[in-house]
Amino acid sequence: MKNLLLSAASLALVAGAALAEPQRGGRVDVVIQPEPPGLMVGLLQNAPVQMVAGNIYEGLLRYDADLAPQPGLAREWEVSEDGLVYTFRLAENARWHDGEPFTAEDVVFSVDVFLRETHPRLRASLVHVETIEAVDDHTVRFTLNNPFGPFLGLFEVGTMPMVPKHIYEGTDFANNPMNDTPIGTGPFRFNEWVQGSHIHLVRNDDYHVEGMPYLDEIFWRVIPDAAARAVAFETGQVDVLPGGSVENFDVPRLTAMDGVCVTGGGWEFFGPHSWMWINLREGPTTDVRFRRAIMHAMDREFARDVVWNGFGRVASGPVSSSTRFFSDDVTIYDYDPDKARALLAEMAYDGTPIRLVPLPYGETWQRWGEAVRQNLLDVGINVELVATDVAGWNQRTSEWDFDLAFTFLYQFGDPALGVARTYVSTNIAKGSPWNNVSGYVNEEVDRLFAEAAVAVGDEARQALYDEVQRIIVDDVPVAWLLELEFPTIYRCDLENLVTTAIGVNDGFRDAWLSR
């Protein structure tokens, strides 16, 4: 089993730079909301941190829209036949923004020391890694203690960012003063942060991919009010509205403007997947017929077309269609109110009230909660809408104080990384809204997820994931809604912006202005 990409030139073609002749120079203004708590992406994993810092720091690999790995700081890589040894050959001309060379020792320090301490999500995957060795200055070898199918998907900048050993070794990572002036190897350097106003990045003239980046500078603009962000785009103060920057009902007006483009791409790695948690511990929700009735009662196509303005796809089960090992060979729950009523009659549902907690992320989500409530009322389910703020939503879901509750989670390209956590019984624990909140227990599901994570070869993993998806969809432990798309709106003269599966999080390297 081998995967080799041999040159930076091949990356330029993959990134789409052959679309037109790139032009050098210019400034781009981008909305960032909310303002990030910091920019040291090895310490902070908030979405706005990753969005800005993904252009300062880098991972060994990038990923295209099909989640196929592409060169990053690693120019070539190969995997042993037994799936235990991964060898990466690094860019020999890469330097940190302070001029120090980037070497294999930085990789070993970043992964085996820094990120093992600071990055909980990556740390959970690193239990499969036995050793990380610097073979020479530009070669690093990872040896696993068992095969781990999604391992090659761990190397993007938000999951495994490279951090400078010469700055962090032997320090208190969280309190290192350099966290305020981040040093990466990426296409843009940190220049200035004016709190409440903007973050300014400038071109890294010593970047290791020849000719890139094309832009001179990026200003990330902090504009707290959603309506004001829309106005800033309309009046030309900003050039890019990343996904989620404005309410969905503003999208049609903004994208109808002359010279404005929009894409739902750039989220394939994250695979944002929305559903309603169903509390399986008591009441009518413990009956699978009730849960199936919920699925048939919801008009999810209406939600996609009206609430989300056509951005998204009706979810068929636990795995997004953009995530590896997706299968649609599952029971399909069409919008069928009559079938929902029949299921409720069969179980003799007595009208017990159900508490539905929307996600308090703005008016779009509130409208969605109201639409689902009306769907459920129409088939005879007595629903009480429970309004909360973010802290209240966190508390209710974490403490299991709900019957139905909206959420969405990222899938990170592989079921072992972002899907299993929602359904395995070992991940049931009060205090977190990100684990198995429903309280779903199925020993066969636990076994299949465990086997699939360490199975050797995609064919073996696909067979196991096919089976687990069929079981979960029949059990309906959550009520799946949509595979979300967060539209990125931008001026059409900003070309080649979204070229990878994490979109603007690392996209400005490849972008240029044709003004």
Residue 200 phi/psi, 5-degree rounding, is -110, 120
Q: Residue 405: which of 427, 423, 379, 387 has the closest Cα?
A: 387
Question: What is the residue extent of each domain of the chain?
Answer: 273-484
**CB 230: neighbour CB atoms within 10 A?**
22
User: What pLDDT was estimated at residue 456?
Assistant: 84
Alpha-carbon gap, residue 200 to 190, rounded angstroms: 7
Alpha-carbon gap, residue 515 to 499, rounded angstroms: 20
**CB 21: neighbour CB atoms within 10 A?**
8
Would you list the DSSP string of 125-185?
A: HHTTEEEEEEEETTEEEEEESS--GGGGGS-STTTS----HHHHTTS-GGG-GGGGS---S
Q: Residue 186: which of 156, 165, 166 has the closest Cα?
A: 156
Question: Which residues lie closer than 8 Å to 61 by C-beta, 6 or more apart?
Answer: 69, 70, 71, 72, 74, 77, 152, 155, 156
Q: Residue 278: which of 197, 143, 372 has the closest Cα?
A: 372
pLDDT in tens, the chain (515 residues): 333 333 333 333 333 334 568 999 999 999 998 899 999 999 998 899 999 999 999 999 999 999 999 999 999 999 999 999 999 999 999 999 999 999 999 999 999 999 999 998 899 899 999 999 999 999 999 999 999 989 999 999 999 999 999 999 999 999 999 999 999 999 999 999 999 999 999 999 999 999 999 999 999 999 999 999 999 999 999 999 999 899 989 999 999 999 999 999 999 999 999 999 999 999 999 999 999 999 999 999 999 999 998 889 999 999 999 999 999 999 999 999 999 999 999 999 999 999 999 999 888 999 999 999 999 999 999 999 999 998 899 999 999 999 999 999 999 999 999 999 999 999 999 988 889 999 999 999 999 999 999 998 899 999 999 999 999 999 999 999 999 989 999 999 999 999 999 999 999 999 999 97
Query: What is the SS3 assignment for 190?
Result: strand
User: Under a CB-based contact definition with an 8 Å cutoff, are residues 366 and 247 in contact?
Assistant: no
Q: Which residue has tokens 């990753």?
A: 50
User: What pLDDT was estimated at residue 75?
Assistant: 98
Query: What is the SS3 assignment for 256?
Result: coil
Cα 478–Cα 480–Cα 485 angle in degrees, nearest 5: 140
Q: Which fold has domain 273-484?
A: Dipeptide-binding Protein; domain 3 (3.10.105)
Q: Residue 106: which of 124, 118, 94, 119 has the closest Cα?
A: 94
Calculate the alpha carbon distances from 361 to 129, 148, 369, 483, 496 in Å. Answer: 37, 35, 11, 17, 30
pTM: 0.87
Whether the bond into 69 is cis, omega within 30 of 0: no
User: What pLDDT was estimated at residue 432?
Assistant: 86
> Quick one: tokens of 365?
């989500």
User: What pLDDT was estimated at residue 448?
Assistant: 98
Residue 84 phi/psi, 5-degree rounding, is -105, -20
Calculate the alpha carbon distances from 482 to 128, 250, 271, 373 in Å. Answer: 32, 20, 11, 16
Q: Residue 159: which of 274, 299, 41 has the closest Cα?
A: 41
